[in-house]
Amino acid sequence: MTLLYVAEFDFAHIIILSDSLAVLKSLSKYGPPNIQDCPYIYKIKHIKQNLLTKGINVHFIWIKAHAGFEHNEYVDLLAKESVSSDTSILHKITLTDSIISFKSTLHREWSHQWKEYSFVNQNRYSLIQPDIPKFPWYKACRASRKYITSIIRVRFGHACYPKHLFKIQVLDNDKCEHCEEESDLDHIFFGCSKNTIYSSKLINDLLKCKVATPWNILYLLSLGSVDVYNSLINFLKDSKLSL
């Protein structure tokens, strides 16, 4: 209402004082009016932008509430009375609120379906990821693309090691060329004679992380621990293995 009122006057600069810090912070966000904004914020930004095209600059300043301003108590009284009045006010649900609600519902239903599926079908993925997180694991750490892709390959088991390469018919067998044993990820990280030094260092790192034993790759991955991921990545770097 204030913006509509000042638009009737021929002023180049307008200063509007408000004690609503939350509203002023929303208005201060960079960018033109966005349909995802709260309807009131969108309308205020739109009017402010129209005034600017007419050469009228509007500035908002925050003031402390209840700081001795005349009629402030009367305005507060009217606001309190409106809560107990019989007048009904229809509030529009903002697009942002709708998206948040949709995401929350989607995550809840997805989690429920995943738990049902995991209960009946216990496989690699259900063991590693018993719950559906709200954010991917790599959001909790600042990592390079190579770091992320390496952990993802280990998590999915789709990587360049004999057992998987044999499964997709790239190799003739799944044996380790050094040990003649089945070369799965557990063998590579903990059992291969070629990697004894690096496996010992990995074990020490995991002990420092206070990871409960016994260990295998699926168990370590199910923890979702960045410290554990760092230990696995350090093993790959030290051993110069590329998965």
Say whether pLDDT at 134 is over 80. Answer: yes
- Token digits for 41? 């914020």
What is the band of 5 on the pLDDT scale with cuts at 50, 70, 90? confident
Work out the end-to-end distance of the chain between its first and last CA atoms, rounded to an integer number of angstroms: 63
Mean of pLDDT values over 127-140: 88
Residues whose CB is less than 8 angstroms from the CB of residue 52 and which lie 6 or more positions away in sequence, other chains included: 58
The one-character DSSP state at 198 is: H
Burial of 198 (0-12, 13-18, 19+ CB in 10 A): buried
The model's pLDDT over 73-90, given as tens digits with 9 standing for 90+, comes to 776 777 677 667 666 656
Which of 174, 226, 234, 160 is closest to 199 using CA atoms? 234
Q: What pLDDT does 33 receive? A: 63
What is the band of 14 on the pLDDT scale with cuts at 50, 70, 90? confident
Q: Tokens 């554990």 appear where?
A: 228
Q: What pLDDT does 107 receive? A: 94
Look over the chain and give the mean of its residue pLDDT values, rounded to a whole number: 85
Q: Check residues 24 and 222 and name the one with the higher pLDDT.
A: 222
Say whether pLDDT at 100 is over 90. Answer: no
Amino acid at position 205, single letter? D
Q: Check residues 14 and 107 and name the one with the higher pLDDT.
A: 107
Q: What pLDDT does 17 receive? A: 82
The model's pLDDT over 168-221, given as tens digits with 9 standing for 90+, comes to 999 999 999 998 999 999 999 999 999 999 999 999 999 999 998 888 999 999
Look at 8-12, 124-128, 230-234 and tell me which has the smallest mean pLDDT: 8-12
Spatial distance between the Cα atoms of 149 and 151, rounded to a whole number of angstroms: 6
Domain ranges across the chain: 2-66, 95-128, 137-239
The model's pLDDT over 34-72, given as tens digits with 9 standing for 90+, comes to 656 677 777 888 888 888 888 888 888 888 776 666 666
Q: What pLDDT does 161 receive? A: 94
- Going from the C-alpha of 115 to that of each of 18, 118, 224, 227, 243, the distances in angstroms are 49, 5, 17, 26, 30
Say whether pLDDT at 162 is over 90. Answer: yes
Q: What pLDDT does 71 receive? A: 67
Tell me the pTM: 0.63
Q: What pLDDT does 62 receive? A: 86
